[in-house]
């Protein structure tokens, strides 16, 4: 379905100036502000950020999961040519699962504990088409087999508590993919899992993506997972995107001081051991009292290099610095690159 | 220095079992979860021993047993020369000056109704110690030392962020100048930029006060950053223990190899071409662990002998202990090449070992506090609600 006036060659998902704000007793929580993104078909975009950065709220907005009674959502979200914001609830319901599906961090709280996993999967089928119970069960069985559940004919009648964490996440993935959606949003899908199980689930998501050609948004705080699965990365901080780049570029030539700070603060097994880590000083900003200028300014080591104190008073824009590479920072591009290469060299040297 | 080699903690053949009870009216003991099953190690003065393992490996139970927060079933625990397993709760009190704990969840580890000053000052009051200059001055000095504003003495935990709360927990733990601090996943609930702050703080405090740490964590990169030696646990047993450089550069146990290969490296150039060992299946039941080597059901090296004979923990090089019949110096061809040679064709499920017959069903396992503390997401809501109806 193409909207008149829009070119046929549009990105699969395009978000324009998304804003989500929750009024609370303490003031307006601006969880997401001015987020613009686009993803091409079949690609994997990782959204990285720490808690409170707005990454999960962005995902929920795409899924239409933000309750309009308690929050205001502004901006545009175009999914395959269709505008999602303002769509009636019934239309959204038809879209969820069939077009976009989501898996969550904790599979135990997203699976219903009273129902057998097979019934939960067939319920997802029935939400979008009417087929015979027997056929639905066969579909569920086949999907459980595809996501690597051993002996699915026995597991299909299990309750969620009878499965391990990794198995539950496989069930969630089976449920998400049962209606052959075009896009999968994975919100910290492996955070609750052990590394060896995480490896299994990441393998699974990548192989299913190759098989079904789905577009994936991977929301995570783990820069290792990003390096593993993503084609492109958007870094979020304080409710906005502060840097977007192809994965290789983001790690080799990050320009936003926050991205650089993240890369220097993680301990890395592939590097010589440094005596001290270089953490980002301070704490993330409160979403109610955001800094007036750049939201990262209070923790930024380089803001005094910007003439006129612009970092303190002017919100920087997300601007292109190279093809596909956008940065939200007042520092001149040349200086950003110099700082970045200096820091990365020190890190690589393991001094 | 003679103090370098002094042992602050020695754990010998520690076993901690939890009873499994039936669901009926008479809750008979029908089995045991062998959470920790014969673990021995020591921690020297001003040394950090990292204890890594996945959930269900028993690492947290080891941590809690060391401080007698759970009573071990058997074995010895010697803290600073004193055997403590036979002591009553009351007799343990003086020992607690020497050994303290930092918990994983900075939200649940602090009483929300107590002020920060009250929380950090509690160890002095409980132990009946009057620090020079008074409790308030001592607490404020501690707050300053761990990076908190001393003026926040009268604030409550909910006014602090996760990283700041962990600093409160650390200040409380170092208040009595203990010799040993058991850190149970102290940074895993924190954001990465805050993690680094806390790791640096723990290191600084170690140097300043000569602290020994038993550092329990699942994040191998974090453990590498802070530990002098590392012990790897699986299903209640130590698999491998070695100096840090050895365990990361030259591991011998197949499980250590798998763990290291599973950690994604934050560098797309390295990570995208990297092969990893994808362990198949899940952790077996600790109620009915596999015979012989507990890791054999998921091991790429497993042979006949592994199912019959429990591999002892042997010192293969100075300080390098391995419990494996077939240790791996270099990975055999075809192992860990999941990326280059995918075992799975599209649409074909991965081959997985079937659970051995006679194993206790996961239903019974899942309602147990397998890691030694009740995990409410694992309780069986269906059963309870059904009963209450």
Q: Which pLDDT tens digit goes with each residue over B139-151?
A: 999 999 999 999 9
**Cβ atoms within 10 A of the Cβ of B144, count?**
12
Nearest to B306 by CA among B255, B247, B231: B255
Ramachandran bin of B95, using left for φ above 0, alpha for ψ from -120 to 50, beta for the remaining angles: alpha
Q: Which of A154, A180, A206 is the last residue of a domain?
A: A180
Expressed as residue numbers, the domain containing A137 is 108-180
**A229, closest residue in chain B (CA to CA):** B272
Decide if A115 is inside a domain. Answer: yes
DSSP letter at B73 equals: S
Give the residue from A180, A195, A211 where a domain finishes: A180
Instruction: Indicate yes or no: CB of B193 within 8 angstroms of CB of A50.
Output: yes
| Inter-chain CB proximity A265 and B278 less than 8 Å | no
Q: B281 or B361: which carries more pLDDT confidence?
A: B281
Q: Which band of pLDDT confidence, cut at 50, 70 and 90, is reported for residue B88?
A: very high
- Is the pLDDT at A347 greater than 50, yes or no? yes
Secondary structure of chain A in the HEC alphabet?
Answer: CCCCCCCCCCCCEEEEEEEEEEEECCEEEEEEEEEEEEECCCCEEEEECCCCCCHHHHHHHHCCCCCCCCCEEEEEEEECCEECCCCCHHHHHHHECCCEEEECCCHHHHCCCCCCHHHHHHHHHHCCCCCCHHHHHHHHHHHHHHCCCCCHHHHCCCCHHHCCHHHHHHHHHHHHHCCCCCEEEEECCCCCCCHHHHHHHHHHHHHHHHHHCCEEEEEECCHHHHHHHCCEEEEEECCEEEEEEEHHHHHHCCCCHHHHHHHHHCCCCCCCCCCCCCCCCCCCCCCCCCCCCCCCHHHCCCHHHCHHHHHHHCCCCEEEEECCEEEECCCCHHHHHHHHHHHHHHHHHCC
Contact yes or no for A277 and B199 at CB 8 A: yes
The ipTM value here is 0.84
User: From edge to edge, which strands make up the β-sheet containing A72-79?
Assistant: A27-39, A13-24, A72-79, A82-83
> Residue B76 has what DSSP assignment?
E
Q: What angle do CA A118, A121, A127 make, to 5 degrees?
A: 140
**pLDDT band with cut points at 50, 70 and 90 for residue B215:** very high
Residue B340 pLDDT:
36
Q: How far is CA B311 from CA A219, B256, B322, in A?
A: 42, 15, 9
Q: Please, which residues 39-98 of chain A have a Cβ atom closer than 8 Å to chain B?
A: 50-51
pLDDT of residue A268: 87
Q: Is the pLDDT of residue B188 over 60?
A: yes
Straight-line distance from the first to the last Cα atom of chain B, in angstroms, rounded to the nearest whole number: 67
- Of all residues in chain A, what percent carry a pLDDT higher than 70? 97
Say if residue B341's pLDDT is above 50: no
pLDDT at position A351 over 60: no
Mutate: best of B201, B215, B255, B267, partner A, most A CBs <10 A: B267
Percent of residues, chain B, with pLDDT higher than 70: 84
Is A314 among the domain residues?
A: yes
B346 CB within 8 Å of a chain A CB: yes
Q: What are phi and psi of B152, to 5 degrees?
A: -85, 20
- pLDDT in the model for residue B52: 96
Residues paired with A327 in a beta bridge:
A243, A319
**Of A246, A243, A240, A207, which Cα lies nearest the Cα of A226?**
A246
Task: With beta carbons less than 8 A apart as the criterion, state whether A200 and B318 touch.
Answer: no
Asked if A211 reaches chain B (Cβ–Cβ under 8 Å), the answer is: yes
CA distances from A130 to A100, A135, A136, A167, B27 (A): 19, 10, 9, 27, 46
Q: Where are the domains of chain B?
A: 3-98+178-264+312-324
Q: Is residue A226 part of a domain?
A: no
Residues 285-344 (A) with a CB less than 8 A from some CB of B: none
Contact list, A267 vs chain B (CB under 8 Å): 196, 199, 221-222, 224-225
Q: Which residues of A touch B268 (CB under 8 A)?
A: 226-228, 230, 247-248, 251
Contact A148 B281 (CB under 8 A): no
B199 CB neighbours in chain A (<8 A) are 267, 277
Number of domains composing chain A? 2
The closest alpha carbon to B38, from B85, B79, B84, B75, belongs to B75
And the tokens for B134? 């008074």
Given this model, what pLDDT does residue B5 score? Answer: 61
Mean pLDDT value across chain B: 84
pLDDT tier, A8 (very low <50, low <70, confident <90, very high otherwise): low
pLDDT digits (tens, 9 = 90+) for A15-71: 999 999 999 998 999 999 999 999 999 999 999 998 889 999 999 999 999 988 899
- Give, for B260, the enclosing helix (H) or strand (E): helix B254-262
pLDDT tens-digit series, residues B1-21: 444 468 999 999 999 999 988
Phi, psi of A348 (to 5 degrees): -65, -30
Considering the four listed CATH numbers 3.40.50.10490, 3.40.50.300, 1.10.600.10, 3.40.640.10, the one that applies to the domain covering B3-98+178-264+312-324 is 3.40.50.300
Q: What's the confidence (pLDDT) of residue A350? A: 52
Under an 8 A CB cutoff, do B278 and A227 touch? no
The single residue listed with the structure tokens 């927990």 is B169
Q: Which residue has the higher pLDDT, B378 or B169?
A: B169
pLDDT for residue B347: 35
Q: Using CB atoms, pick whichever of A113, A211, A284 lies closest to residue B346.
A: A211
Per-residue pLDDT band at B107 (split at 50, 70, 90): confident
Subunit contact B192:A269, Cβ cutoff 8 A: no
* Closest alpha carbon to B172 in B133, B208, B127: B127
Of B7, B69, B6, B2, nearest in space to B36 by CA: B69
Domain presence at residue A337: yes
Give pLDDT, residue B77: 97
Percentage with pLDDT > 90 across chain B: 68
CA atoms of A113 and A180, how far apart (whole Å): 25
The predicted model gives A168-190 an average pLDDT of 92
What are the tens digits of pLDDT across the range B219-277?
A: 999 999 999 999 999 999 999 999 999 999 999 999 999 999 999 999 998 888 787 88
A203 at interface of B, judged by CB pairs closer than 8 A: yes
The residue count for chain B: 389
Rounded CA separation A166/B362 (Å): 13
- In this prediction, residue A196 carries a pLDDT of 85
Instruction: Give backbone dihedrals phi and psi of A238, rounded to 5 degrees, phi first.
Output: 55, 35
User: What does residue A30 show for φ and ψ, rounded to 5 degrees?
Assistant: -90, 90
Assess if residue A281 is contained within a domain: yes
| Token couple for B52 | 């890594």
Asked if B335 and B275 touch (Cβ cutoff 8 Å), the reply is: no
Res A206 pLDDT > 80 = yes
Could you identify the residue written with the tokens 């809501």?
B381
Residue with tokens 């017959």: B357
B72 Cα to chain A: minimum distance (Å) = 26
Find the residue in A nearest to B198 (Cα).
A279
Alpha-carbon gap, residue A148 to B344, rounded angstroms:
10
Of A124, A154, A180, the residue that ends a domain is A180
In B, minimum Cα distance to A211 occurs at B346
- Whether A109 sits inside 8 A of B381 (CB atoms) is no
Answer for the pair A225, A48: CB distance below 8 angstroms, yes or no: no
Q: Which two tokens stand for residue B289?
A: 């662990």
Structure confidence by residue, pLDDT tens digits, A88-141 = 989 998 899 899 999 988 777 889 999 999 999 999 999 998 999 999 999 999
Q: Residue A13: inside a domain, yes or no?
A: no
Q: What is the mean pLDDT of residues B177-198?
A: 93
Q: Is the CB of residue B233 less than 8 Å away from at least one CB of chain A? A: no
């Amino acid at each position: 379905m193409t909207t008149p006036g829009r070119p046929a060659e549009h990105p699969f998902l395009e978000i324009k100036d998304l804003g989500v704000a929750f009024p609370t007793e303490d003031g307006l929580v601006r969880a997401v502000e001015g987020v613009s993104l686009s993803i091409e078909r079949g690609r994997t975009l990782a959204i990285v950020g720490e808690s409170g950065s707005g990454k999960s709220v962005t995902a929920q907005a795409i899924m239409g999961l933000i309750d309009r009674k308690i929050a205001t959502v502004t901006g545009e979200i175009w999914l395959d040519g269709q505008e999602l914001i303002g769509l009636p609830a019934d239309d959204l319901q038809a879209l969820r699962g069939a077009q976009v599906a989501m898996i969550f961090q904790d599979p135990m709280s997203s699976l219903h504990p009273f129902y057998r996993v097979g019934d939960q999967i067939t319920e997802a089928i029935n939400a979008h088409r009417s087929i015979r119970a027997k056929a639905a069960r066969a579909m569920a069985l086949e999907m459980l087999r595809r996501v690597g559940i051993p002996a699915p004919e026995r597991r299909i009648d299990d309750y969620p508590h009878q499965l391990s964490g990794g198995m539950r996440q496989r069930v969630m993935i089976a449920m998400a993919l049962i209606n052959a959606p075009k896009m999968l949003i994975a919100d910290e899908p492996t955070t609750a899992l052990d590394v060896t199980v995480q490896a299994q689930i990441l393998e699974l998501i990548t192989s299913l993506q190759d098989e079904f050609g789905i577009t994936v948004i991977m929301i995570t705080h783990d820069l290792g997972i990003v390096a593993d699965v993503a084609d492109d990365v958007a870094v979020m901080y304080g409710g906005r995107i502060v840097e977007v780049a192809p994965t290789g570029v983001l790690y080799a030539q990050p320009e936003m001081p926050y991205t650089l700070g993240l890369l220097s603060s993680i301990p890395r097994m592939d590097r010589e051991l440094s005596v001290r880590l270089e953490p980002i000083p301070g704490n993330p900003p409160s979403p109610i009292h955001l800094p007036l200028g750049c939201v990262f300014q209070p923790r930024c080591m380089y803001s005094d290099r910007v003439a006129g104190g612009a970092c303190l008073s002017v919100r920087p824009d997300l601007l292109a610095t190279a093809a596909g590479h956008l940065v939200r920072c007042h520092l001149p591009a040349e200086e950003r690159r110099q700082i970045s290469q200096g820091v990365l060299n020190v890190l690589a040297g393991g001094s | 220095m003679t103090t370098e080699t002094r042992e602050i903690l020695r754990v010998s053949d520690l076993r901690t079992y939890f009873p499994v009870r039936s669901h009926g009216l008479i809750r008979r003991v029908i089995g045991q979860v062998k959470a920790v099953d014969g673990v021995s190690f020591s921690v020297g003065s001003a040394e950090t021993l990292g204890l890594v393992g996945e959930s269900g490996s028993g690492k947290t139970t080891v941590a809690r047993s060391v401080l007698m927060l759970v009573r071990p079933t058997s074995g010895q625990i010697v803290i600073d020369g004193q055997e403590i397993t036979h002591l009553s709760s009351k007799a343990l009190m003086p020992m607690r000056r020497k050994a303290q704990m930092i918990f994983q969840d900075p939200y649940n580890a602090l009483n929300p109704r107590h002020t920060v000053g009250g929380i950090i000052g509690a160890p002095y009051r409980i132990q009946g110690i009057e620090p020079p200059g008074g409790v308030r001055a001592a607490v404020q000095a501690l707050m300053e030392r761990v990076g908190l504003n001393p003026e926040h003495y009268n604030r409550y935990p909910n006014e602090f962020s996760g990283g700041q709360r962990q600093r409160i927990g650390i200040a409380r733990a170092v208040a009595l100048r203990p010799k040993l601090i058991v850190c149970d996943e102290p940074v895993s609930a924190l954001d990465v930029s805050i993690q680094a702050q806390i790791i640096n703080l723990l290191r600084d405090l170690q140097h300043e006060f000569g602290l020994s740490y038993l550092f329990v964590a699942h994040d191998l990169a974090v453990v590498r950053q802070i530990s002098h030696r590392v012990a790897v646990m699986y299903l209640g047993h130590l698999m491998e223990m070695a100096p840090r450089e050895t365990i990361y550069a030259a591991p011998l146990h197949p499980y250590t190899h798998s763990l290291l290969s599973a950690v994604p490296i934050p560098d797309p150039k390295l990570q995208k071409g990297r092969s990893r060992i994808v362990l198949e299946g899940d952790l077996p039941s600790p109620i009915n662990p596999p015979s012989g080597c507990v890791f054999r059901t998921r091991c790429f090296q497993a042979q006949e002998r592994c199912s019959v004979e429990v591999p002892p923990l042997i010192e293969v090089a100075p300080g390098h202990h391995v419990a494996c019949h077939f240790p791996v110096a270099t990975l055999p061809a075809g192992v860990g090449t999941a990326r280059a040679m995918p075992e799975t064709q599209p649409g074909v499920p991965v081959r997985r070992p079937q659970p051995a017959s006679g194993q206790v069903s996961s239903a019974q396992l899942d309602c147990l506090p397998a890691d030694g503390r009740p995990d409410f997401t694992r309780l069986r809501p269906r059963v309870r609600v059904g009963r209450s109806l």
